[in-house]
Chain A
Amino acid sequence: MTQTATQRPVHWRPARVAEVREETATTRTIAFDVPGWPGHVAGQHVDVRLTAEDGYQAERSYSIASPPDGHRVELTIQRVPDGELSSYMCAEMRAGDEAELRGPVGGWFVWHPEESTPVLLVAGGSGVVPLMAMLRERARAGSTAPFSLLYSVRNPEVALYAGELDALARDGGGLDVSLLFSDAAPEGTTRPVGRIRPDDLAGTGLPAGSAGRAYVCGPTAFVEAVAGLLADHGYDPSNVRTERFGPTGG
């Protein structure tokens, strides 16, 4: 494991919102400038702390969406009904606002660009965020490791990064992207709508099990289901790295 980004002391650092981009009707990407940011590895997390004028503080952990890029750290935040911080960040936060970031954290659900092992990424909903960091890092580093993304979403309107994923897949170079629509699919989609199933894994073109590694991120129930499918497909559980977030995110 590369130690540089995972063994440094971790403490709160002041950050400023550099840019806000709307992704979908309920999701936005917030780019922070974090002076002194030690760098991160694709797949890692960061804690965000906001302080209200009356001193009230709230903090949550988010996956980093961007590849390592100097002092820049991008998070894609989904608004969730009971999410105190996500509601605020999705509705109110704008360029120039201040926050504090602590991280990066996480040394298991990470991908290093020097690895050449074939990789299967399986995302459920906004679980695509840390996997997107891996795809962006792969492109940034010019890696030719075979990658396949299975991205399960309810419908095209809530699919994150759709244009960018299209472009990355069109560039070739061993990346295969499949969107799996569970509720409603665009016209012309041949796959029947529905949850991820064994056929979806067989269609990725990656060798069954054997040398491949899988990263699975999504709601708990999704991750448990996919971990079962991967085991049936021949993946050694030690090559399956999972990350669950709660039913409401935050």
Chain B
Amino acid sequence: MSDGEYVDGNAAAGMLAEAFRTEVSTATVTCGNCGRSGRFADRHVYDRGPGLVARCPHCGEVNARMVRTPTDVWLELHGSTSWRIPAPPA
């Protein structure tokens, strides 16, 4: 994978939707480095490796790493301080 070969957050939305059981491309992610908030769909996603990496479009911080194994979805989110996920009324 070379620098710059990213796609947008929708490329990761399928794996996330499987994990969260809901649509998360409209989730608002706050970056753990620069503190700016934006939709997950606007993250820069690098998907040419064994897993996915989603970076902040402003500062490049890794906001999320995701790997799908045969039985689980692993998420590593320490580069983001919050995820606000739209939820239908309970």
Contact = CB atoms under 8 A, between A and B. Distances in A.
| Genuine A/B complex | yes
A247 B1 CA distance: 12
A105 B14 contact: yes
Contacts of B10: 45, 61, 105-106, 109, 243
Given A105-B23, A108-B25, A10 B6 contact: no
B7 A106 contact: no
A39 B10 CA distance: 17
Contacts of A106: 10, 13, 23, 25, 41
B26 A107 contact: yes
Contacts of A236: none
Contacts, number: 73
A124 interface: no
Contacts of B49: none
Contact of B5 (A60, A103, A247): A247
Interface residues of B, number: 23
Interface string A57-74: 000110000000000000
A108 B7 contact: no
Contacts of B15: 47
Interface residues of A, number: 28
Contacts of A244: 6-8
A98 to B, nearest CB: 19
A190 interface: no
Contacts of A102: 14, 17-18
A244 B10 CA distance: 9
Contacts of B17: 10, 102-103, 105
A24 interface: no
Nearest to A103: B14
Interface in A100-136: 102-103, 105-109
A45 B14 contact: yes
B68 to A, nearest CB: 9
A186 interface: no
Nearest to B46: A246
B27 to A, nearest CB: 9
Given A10-B14, A45-B14, A61-B14, A105 B8 contact: no
Interface string B6-38: 111011011101100111011000000000000
A244 B57 CA distance: 12
Contact of B23 (A107, A109, A247): A107
Contacts of A6: 23
B58 interface: no
Interface string A21-50: 000000000000000000000000111000
A51 B86 CA distance: 34
Interface in B35-70: 39, 41-42, 47
B43 to A, nearest CB: 11
A247 B25 contact: no
6 contacts: A3-B88, A7-B23, A107-B23, A246-B5, A247-B5, A248-B5
